[in-house]
A and B are shown apart, each in its own frame.
Chain A
Amino acid sequence: MDLMRSISIAASGLRAESGRMRVISENLANADSTARTAGGDPYRRKIVSFDSQLDRDLDAQTVTLGRIKRDTSAFRLEYEPGNPIADAKGYVKMPNVNPLVEQMDMREAQHAYEANLNVIGAARRMIARTLDILRG
């Protein structure tokens, strides 16, 4: 039944968005994770991508979380001469995570998740209304 398939497809959206949320929380949690040793790189921001995928059982395009890529932009530099992992000039490399950007990504993930939830709710209501005819 198409409506049940819609629910399954929307569920794949929920799964993908929750994966995105996981990556965002990783980024936010590691916003201040520096390198372990001097000269090493700190945490590099992760970027999610979504893949559309043909689900043979459903005969429809569902969405999955694609490969998680790394943000190649430059690291922030903070002047901390006393830090043991600071470079010769006294700078410590900080992760290239911008909490504001993550906040916006999070909002986006939240809205996409809710949109998929609404699809599930609407499909369920449609099924229930159709069944109401049978109850008569």
Chain B
Amino acid sequence: MSAAALAANAYTAAARKYGGDAAGLAAPNGGAKPDQSFGSLLAQAMDSVSETGKAADTAAVNSTTGRTDMIDVVTAVAESETAMQTLISVRDRVISAYEEIMRMAI
């Protein structure tokens, strides 16, 4: 849940950077907080995604030993899948925007 929100935050922060500063990703005073680069936001989102992934894994392992409900596994896996896909979409989007900028004729 939180991973999706975090990824969305990362995306809006990145979008704001592009709007304010054409130099893009590395700009220190671009978007949200001065020290929060897109990289760190992405890293945070990554952590969060891997956390949900771990939760899904634990649920799956526990279900094989009969300790967890199958329903818990399904919801945990669905949640981690959503978080993962959100992150992947954000990444793809940002990278394509970055490439677009790099292709710019100077």
- The residues of A with any CB-CB pair to B shorter than 8 Å are 1, 4-5, 7-8, 11, 14-15, 18, 120, 124, 127-128, 131, 134-136
Interface centre among A5, A8, A11, A120 (most CB of B within 10 A): A11
Given the known interface contacts A1-B1, A4-B79, the answer about A134 and B74 at a Cβ–Cβ threshold of 8 Å is no
User: Min CB distance, A128 to chain B, in Å?
Assistant: 8
Give the residue name and chain of the A residue nearest to B75 (CB): A11
Query: Is B78 in contact with A131, judged by CB distance below 8 angstroms?
Result: no
How many residue pairs link A and B with beta carbons under 8 A? The number is 40
Residues of A within 8 A of B75 (CB): 7-8, 11, 120
CA gap between A5 and B75 in the complex, in Å: 10
CA gap between A5 and B79 in the complex, in Å: 10
Query: Is B69 in contact with A131, judged by CB distance below 8 angstroms?
Result: no
Find B78's partner among A1, A18, A120, A134 (CB 8 Å cutoff): A120
Given the known interface contacts A127-B82, A131-B86, the answer about A4 and B4 at a Cβ–Cβ threshold of 8 Å is yes
16 contacts between A and B (CB under 8 A): A1-B1, A1-B4, A4-B1, A4-B79, A5-B1, A7-B75, A7-B78, A11-B72, A11-B74, A11-B75, A15-B69, A15-B71, A120-B75, A120-B78, A131-B86, A135-B89
CA gap between A128 and B81 in the complex, in Å: 10
Residues of A within 8 A of B78 (CB): 7, 120, 124
Interface residue SS majority, chain B:
helix
Find A131's partner among B72, B79, B89 (CB 8 Å cutoff): B89
Interface residue SS majority, chain A:
helix
CA gap between A134 and B86 in the complex, in Å: 8
Query: Is B71 in contact with A1, judged by CB distance below 8 angstroms?
Result: no
Give the residue name and chain of the B residue nearest to A123 (CB): B78
Residues of A within 8 A of B85 (CB): 128, 131
Interface centre among A8, A124, A127, A134 (most CB of B within 10 A): A134
List B residues 1-38 near A (Cβ within 8 Å).
1, 4-5, 11
Given contact pairs A4-B4, A120-B78, A136-B93, a sample of 18 additional A-B residue pairs in the complex whose CB atoms are under 8 Å apart: A1-B1, A5-B1, A7-B78, A8-B75, A11-B71, A11-B72, A11-B74, A14-B71, A15-B71, A18-B71, A124-B78, A127-B82, A131-B86, A134-B86, A134-B93, A135-B89, A135-B92, A135-B93
